[in-house]
Amino acid sequence: MQHLHSCKLCPRLYAHRQLQKSRYPNYHCLPVASFGDENPGLLIVGLAPGLHGANASGRPFTGDASGATLFQCLYKFGFASHQHAAADLNEMQLTNCRITNAVKCLPPQNKPDSVEINRCNPYLRDEISQLQAASVILALGTIAHRAVLKAFEMPQSTSRFGHMAEFDLPGDLRLIDSYHCSRYNINTGRLTLPMFEKVFSRIEQLLQ
């Protein structure tokens, strides 16, 4: 497995990164590593970096609307030191929580294909392997949910995504699903802030 920072396993994603770097020379435009506590009780798995979010900042869920919603909840439930995702990269601290993505590079139109998701899965598998027993994995959206199952080589058909659905995982881990906190889901009401907070309330119970 290539070192994440220099990964070029997906030609389409690599080319897209290079294109965005030419358009936005001050952006990160590299694979985005996970961020947070080194020994978390909660691992949050998103989809992929956003163009003007993690692709720009180099930190998951930082710089776009989805990150604003996520960090608001993380702060309320004691996982984040600041309420605003745009807090200085050196100031923001996560406690008992780590954030990553199923796909580490910005995909065109925010849609990685199945081959790219599979190629990136070993990085997620490695992150999950470092979790302690009784940890919780929060999958934000269907792609993240499927990527987590793939990391465990679990069949997709027996553990289907559903908001607030929960699944037992090997190693005494627990998976909980949520609709992604994207701008689209928030604006359409598919996911509301109270709904998202209810997910974190459940995570709080599981971690106790």
Amino acid letter at 200? F
Contact status, residue 32 vs residue 105, Cβ threshold 8 Å: yes
Q: Looking at residue 30, what is its pLDDT?
A: 96
Q: How far apart are CA 196 and CA 178, in angstroms?
A: 7
| CATH code reported for the domain at 33-207 | 3.40.470.10
Q: Model-level pTM?
A: 0.95
Instruction: Give the pLDDT of the chain (208 residues) as one tens digit per residue.
Output: 568 988 999 999 999 999 999 999 999 999 999 999 999 999 999 999 999 999 999 999 998 889 999 999 999 999 999 887 665 567 889 999 999 999 999 999 999 999 999 999 999 999 999 999 999 999 999 999 999 999 999 998 889 999 999 999 999 999 999 999 999 999 999 999 999 999 999 999 999 8
CA distances from 172 to 80, 167, 175 (A): 25, 11, 10
Q: How far apart are CA 40 and CA 90, in angstroms?
A: 19
Count the neighbouring beta carbons within 10 Å of the beta carbon of residue 114: 9
